[in-house]
Amino acid sequence: MKEILILRNGRVLDPGASLDAVKDIWIRDGIIVNPGKGMPESAEIVDVSGCWVVPGLIDMHVHLRDPGEEYKETIESGCRAAAAGGFTGVACMPNTNPVNDNGSVTRYICEEAQKAGFAHVYPVGAISQGSRGDKLAEYGEMKAAGAVAFTDDGLPVHDSQLMRRAMEYSLSHGSLIMSHAEESSLSRGGCMNEGETATRLGLQGIPNAAESIMVYRDIVLAELTGARVHISHVSTAESIELIRQGKARGVGVTAESAPHYFMLTEEAVTGYDTHAKMNPPLRSQKDLEAVRHALTDGTLDAIATDHAPHSVLEKDVEFNYAANGIVGLETALSLGLSLVREEVISPLRLVELMSTSPARILAVSGGSLAVGSPADITVIDPDKKFVFDAQKSFSKSANSPFSGWKLQGRAVLTLLGGKVTHRELSAP
């Protein structure tokens, strides 16, 4: 790479600066710098006319499966998929094997991510030892090794006293608690949303209350302790209303939802498609509309993928026995852009949801194009049309309900500290 890289004539979108303007971005030694006078002979110029130039996308909820289930995903393959999707940073959940509940596993994740070099990886440590929900894990050790938050994601923390202690403990470490909100005595045995569709298909349903009860508990505990709590993969209208009320009271609660909850309903399960099986399950049209509205009014702070790779061994089975989850890193941006085309949200709001807010909530670098910032940048062609083929993705798994969909808009250049990690633009 030449000394200076110039992204020329792009539509620069930077929510932190309320900036939406056509301009050039100059990068020197991996840092965004002020444009100089004249065009240096040493500059590499990339014409990005017609494209958006935005702070690198940050996904605050992915499963990289490494260590332990590398046949589904490795840290390297997950980071390649992230870069292809326009992400420069991902926060990975601790439900690996072994569980990321100690400094050794956290350090392993950081070291493998450093070797791969395609994205920043922010490990999220377990709330409890082994995510068993009975004893707190060692937060200080994990934080010293690089953990940015704590959760037992994949499993709820049943014991309210333990969750209270986790929040109190997080305060002394200045860390975030992420909540997998599920009352499992209500969800046990269920495999899709509770309602008419489940009855018609003869499948046991999971009621909205299985999520909202625990959302209520964790907001109340955050209010009691003064801790920050982030509600993961929100799927129901009731949960959204509880989050809205909590924010109005000044509780330190933030929340995310995922593209499948604003693009699909429980009807996607018809035909017993295991690629539509996830936890929490796809919900009703009313819930989908509530998620979309909450993305506009600020109740939801972030769009995350809950990228959950599974092989055919876990998905090509009867619906009841199939694993939950889908891959999402390479479709999230395109699906988010559909909300912009439908005028549900503005371009700046989309960038805020997928970059600026996740950086703020996780307290990591990024989410900004300010001079002096690392050049973690995503260039998006909002008009580029393509058919997504999960079998050709960079992930090692292909469990996506969006495979075969005609999509519009994707990342065509991803820079990590000025280094190209994904490129579909022609070379200058």
Active site residue 306: yes
What is the rounded distance in angstroms from the CA atom of residue 332 to the CA atom of residue 354?
9
E strand or H helix that includes residue 43 = strand 43-47
Residue 260 in contact with residue 282, Cβ under 8 Å? yes
Beta strands in 226-372 (DSSP E): 229-231, 253-257, 302-303
Q: Kindly name the residue from 66, 101, 306, 376 that is annotated as catalytic.
A: 306
Among candidate residues 305, 258, 268, 259, the one with its CA nearest the CA of residue 192: 268
Give rounded-to-5 percent helix, strand, coil for the chain: 35, 25, 40
| Beta bridge mates, 413 | 379, 423
pLDDT along the chain (428 residues), means of 10: 87 98 96 86 92 98 98 98 98 98 98 98 98 97 98 97 98 96 97 98 98 98 98 98 98 98 98 97 98 98 98 96 98 98 98 98 98 98 98 97 98 98 78
E strand or H helix that includes residue 300 = none
- Which tokens is 248 given? 């109005």
Among candidate residues 169, 182, 164, 160, the one with its CA nearest the CA of residue 222: 164
Measured in residues, the chain has a length of: 428
Question: Among positive and negative, which fits the CA dihedral 275, 280, 334, 70?
Answer: negative
Cα atoms found within 13 Å of the Cα of residue 384, Cβ hemisphere only: 17
The annotated binding site for substrate is made up of 63-65, 95, 279, 310
Beta strands in 317-426 (DSSP E): 377-387, 406-416, 419-423
The three state secondary structure string of the chain is CCCEEEEEEEEEEEHHHCEEEEEEEEEECCEEECCCCCCCCCEEEEECCCCEEEECEEEEEECCCCCCCCCCCCHHHHHHHHHHCCEEEEEECCCCCCCCCCHHHHHHHHHHHHHHCCCEEEEEECCEHHHCCCCECCHHHHHHHCCCEECCCCCCCCCHHHHHHHHHHHHHHCCEEEECCCCHHHHCCCCEECCHHHHHHCCCEECCHHHHHHHHHHHHHHHHHCCCEEECCCCCHHHHHHHHHHHHCCCCEEEEECHHHHHCCHHHHCCCCHHHCCCCCCCCHHHHHHHHHHHHHCCCCEECCCECCCCHHHHCCCHHHCCCCECCCCCHHHHHHHHHHCCCCCHHHHHHHHHHHHHHHHCCCCCCCCCCCECCEEEEEEEEEEECCHHHCCCCCCCCCCCCCEEEEEEEEEEECCEEEEECCCCC
What is the rounded distance in angstroms from the CA atom of residue 125 to the CA atom of residue 54?
29
The confidence score (pLDDT) of residue 234 equals 98
Which residue type sits at 84? A
Among candidate residues 240, 180, 187, the one with its CA nearest the CA of residue 210: 187
The annotated binding site is made up of 61, 63-65, 95, 153, 180, 233, 279, 306, 310
Among candidate residues 269, 106, 94, 305, the one with its CA nearest the CA of residue 196: 269
The annotated binding site for Zn(2+) is made up of 61, 63, 153, 180, 233, 306
What is the rounded distance in angstroms from the CA atom of residue 194 to the CA atom of residue 212?
14
What is the rounded distance in angstroms from the CA atom of residue 82 to the CA atom of residue 90?
8
